[in-house]
Structure 1
């Protein structure tokens, strides 16, 4: 069982009122804490926050990181949608490191929409095999450098409907495949290193106003990507991705949200680009890639109390989900559906922007996993 626990040091002090006795007379540090947990930015003006994190996992030892969040509206106009750029950098006691960047940027009057992510990391990947049936509990460890760049450049065609090209670049290099002591895996495609480039298009419907905390709205994406040696890819394969999210207020403070997510791939696909079950966004409780195959269907539902009726800053969430992977669409089976459920704590980081920090614990057949991020999972 992998247990990853990120402890939000800065806000734990704010949560439990420990900052004053710990900080003593250090006025600069006290000013830093006050500025970080306050939201005094004028409406329409960009807001920026950063905070430290601490994590532990058996394959990395202690991990020290810094998260940051930039919020802004095009032309500083409050009528435009809220754009966000998130960054997270980390190093571990075992010499691993990484940088994650996610963006959802809306242009003036939504004429343009940039949606993407970047990952660079030297970090171990756990490999449990390919397919929907249970594999050995002890995974192989694939130590590698990983680079991902994925971006959609979308143009509004009618209100809330966008279309545009998409590019996906993924590289795995300096790999080392370490077998567990009690089980041997067949080495999957891509474990010796791989570079793959995909080009395609995305069609997106999006009437959300606040991507990080949606109170009401609908998001839907249908995209297609083709990977081929003619465009620099080592392997030839293709994929169709579906993502539908819906949000329904049950009261002025509470939201019921659901999501349906699907990956449908064909061709010679390296192991790291198969459909991966688990992670911090969907199927929380499972390690990302605990189950993987060419096809996956996943769904989740979540109820959010933002905030509680008795608090101005604290809230919570309860969620449940299910997913299944298969080598072919025709081979999806209810026998291999994996469930997950969990709860989470919320803290209002930007009161003027209605954005929360979430600390979630998801429970699966492998035990609990913990997640700390800015903004909701979906």
Structure 2
């Protein structure tokens, strides 16, 4: 779910350090300790820092973000693995825990790629389809659990294959209609539990997942959800994700991505193809447009870092996406554009990991995002 975190204590501290002259206080020393990178090559690194944000749905949000980086057997020739965690609580009594992992075994024999979510957080619902009202969304308050994991085995260099499992559940749901509009309640708004089993085929020659200077990632996966597996609904999903990064010089990178999500059957509203969020179509609320099928693409230029700075960089990005009820009915009239800019701070210099703050612009307004590592 989207986070509009427009303020962070760590970011404030970073720029305080760069702008303050001769100040020596506890906050400065705390931030310097947090952002310094003293680990040797191959050694693991761990950082934790507080966040503070605000959005209309949550009021003020207080959280902690952490990142654990390591290489199998402390061998710098192995790919960089990462486990990222985020936990939050809001003044509206919402809370959540996020956990993302991309773990490579020694010499890439195994690759574990997944995410976990547990949260009580409001979901805005604008309806289903490529053309839905932009005002007066419904508010769906619910508890949400997601457990998604791929266990992949290398079959030839850079090519992995293996099973995938996806568990998603909504419970304690409350569908709150807006004052000026009445929505038909979609499938799943009274609570839903779905378990999907399938397989994924992944090609990945990236060395640093969080900041790809050069490399290609391609994934195609299939998941089947059925009552026999414990699901409330019978449907299937195919996902396609292609990403490529190309260095333009020693500091700059040009990257692009094409993403497709295609579902069929009785798909609950929360597992439709969802446009928006912190990764692709930044600027749109996650799920602002949703339907059974979506095609999206984006391109981004990264200055990592600027030539005049050791730690500060920036990006500029643009994207477009469209949703459709059928694969054969995509309509370019409903193609939604987005674009934006971001600043970067080199959080782990020895591992080339940046903290990113992006602002995405759409016809409906801006969205703000703060995360560790690039969007794709």
TM-score scaled by length of structure 1 = 0.97
Q: CA deviation at 1:11?
A: 2.9
Aligned alpha-carbon RMSD (Å): 1.4
Match of residue 10 from structure 1: 10
Q: CA deviation at 1:16?
A: 2.8
Q: After alignment, is 339-348 or 130-139 more displaced?
A: 130-139
Does the CA-based 8 Å contact 1:6-1:53 persist in structure 2?
Answer: no
Match of residue 262 from structure 1: 260
Q: Deviations over 1:188-226 (max 9, x none)?
A: 000000000000000000000000000000000000000
Match of residue 111 from structure 2: 113
Structure 2: give runs of 5+ residues left out of the alignment.
none
* C-alpha separation in 2, matches of 1:301 and 1:136: 26
* C-alpha separation in 2, matches of 1:22 and 1:311: 21
Q: CA deviation at 1:137?
A: 1.4
* C-alpha separation in 2, matches of 1:198 and 1:166: 8
Structure 1: give runs of 5+ residues left out of the alignment.
none
TM-score scaled by length of structure 2 = 0.97
Q: CA deviation at 1:136?
A: 4.5
How many residues were matched structurally? 374
* C-alpha separation in 1, matches of 2:246 and 2:362: 26
* C-alpha separation in 2, matches of 1:103 and 1:289: 23
What secondary structure, in the 3-state scheme, does the structure 2 residue paired with 1:15 have?
Answer: helix
* C-alpha separation in 1, matches of 2:259 and 2:12: 33
* C-alpha separation in 1, matches of 2:114 and 2:20: 36
Residues 1:122 and 2:120 are matched in the alignment: yes
Residues 1:366 and 2:375 are matched in the alignment: no
Out of 352, 355, 359, the position equivalent to 1:354 is 352
Out of 44, 47, 53, the position equivalent to 1:49 is 47
Q: CA deviation at 1:30?
A: 5.1
Out of 330, 333, 350, the position equivalent to 1:332 is 330
Does the CA-based 8 Å contact 2:8-2:53 persist in structure 1?
Answer: no
Q: CA deviation at 1:31?
A: 4.4
The residue correspondences of 1:311-322 to structure 2 (distance < 5 A) are: 311-322=309-320
Q: CA deviation at 1:34?
A: 2.3
* C-alpha separation in 1, matches of 2:202 and 2:291: 25
Q: Deviations over 1:21-46 (max 9, x none)?
A: 8863x4xx554322211100011011
Out of 194, 199, 205, the position equivalent to 2:203 is 205
Does the CA-based 8 Å contact 2:218-2:241 persist in structure 1?
Answer: yes
The residue correspondences of 1:94-105 to structure 2 (distance < 5 A) are: 94-105=92-103
Q: CA deviation at 1:245?
A: 0.1
